[in-house]
Amino acid sequence: MASPLRTDIHVSEDLEKLSLRAAEIFVSCSGESITSKKNFRAALSGGSTPKRLHALLASEPFRSRVDWRGVEVFFGDERCVPPEHRDSNFGAANEALLSRVPARAHRILGELPPREAALRYEEEVRRAFGFEAGVPSLDLVYLGLGADGHTASLFPGTAALDETERLAVEVYVERLESWRVTLTLPVLNAARKVVFLVSGRAKAEIVREVIAGPDGGYPASLVRPTGGSVLWLLDRAAASLL
């Protein structure tokens, strides 16, 4: 029997206020981590929802509240495209944030063949953690939620959901007819803090299913961090069916 998971929910009026809340979390988590262990390792989510968060972190007052030299940025997933491609999660985060702050970024090499990109990313993650034994524990992981219940690039019905050894895997997404690279559940569930960012009425049904419904086996429902809790930052529209 899985250990009980505490689901904390914070509803903001709109995406702007949700993003401000998410930025405050980044500032506080990074401050605590850097104070205690001189580094802060966070994974950014992809898609459109986090774009405002990234822009906020690159601008005042948030920019100067983070000791960026101690920050290492990872990605929860990436589309298998070059970084300059319009679909690249790194490309978007680099334009909005990473090119504007002295953080160290660990990019998924989307321009490589998918399996090679996944293997290289796993090696990069392990190296960043000094090849510590076991599953690396990121300090903070932001995640998005797709209308089908996917998170990162852990899509329903893919073998990625069953991966227990690898830290990152390549995923072919039939519906999108495209390849992705994603962190696996062992990594997401080893994170110290997991924060879902979900905005918009189009996500209200899946939010209700994942948070309040019977265990529908959605990929997002499999995110059960050993720390025992998940924080959902929702705007009013995404929370409208809760």
Residues that bind ligand 6PG (CB under 6 A): 45-49, 76-77, 89, 144-146, 150-152
Is there a contact between 233 and 22 (Cβ–Cβ < 8 Å)? yes
Between 34 and 96, CB nearer to ligand 6PG: 96
- Alpha-carbon gap, residue 77 to 79, rounded angstroms: 7
- Alpha-carbon gap, residue 162 to 181, rounded angstroms: 15
Between 34 and 206, CB nearer to ligand 6PG: 206
Q: How far is the CB of 22 from ligand 6PG (least distance, A)?
A: 12
14 — alpha (psi -120 to 50), left (phi > 0) or beta? beta
Q: How many other β-carbons are positioned within 10 Å of the β-carbon of residue 134? A: 8
Between 77 and 235, CB nearer to ligand 6PG: 77
Q: How far is the CB of 151 from ligand 6PG (least distance, A)?
A: 5
Q: How far is the CB of 198 from ligand 6PG (least distance, A)?
A: 8
Between 15 and 58, CB nearer to ligand 6PG: 15
First to last CA, the chain: 26
E-strand ranges in 67-189 read: 71-75, 77-79, 104-105, 140-143, 168-173, 178-183
Q: Please, how many CA atoms are within 13 Å of residue 169, restricted to the half-sphere of its CB?
A: 20
Between 89 and 158, CB nearer to ligand 6PG: 89
Between 33 and 89, CB nearer to ligand 6PG: 89
E-strand ranges in the chain read: 6-12, 40-44, 71-75, 77-79, 104-105, 140-143, 168-173, 178-183, 194-198, 229-235
Q: How far is the CB of 42 from ligand 6PG (least distance, A)?
A: 14
In one-letter notation, the amino acid at residue 201 is R
- Alpha-carbon gap, residue 237 to 204, rounded angstroms: 7
Between 71 and 93, CB nearer to ligand 6PG: 93
Q: How far is the CB of 93 from ligand 6PG (least distance, A)?
A: 11
Q: How far is the CB of 209 from ligand 6PG (least distance, A)?
A: 15
Q: What one-character DSSP code corresponds to residue 154?
A: B
Tell me the residue nearest to ligand 6PG as measured from the CB.
144
Q: How far is the CB of 152 from ligand 6PG (least distance, A)?
A: 5
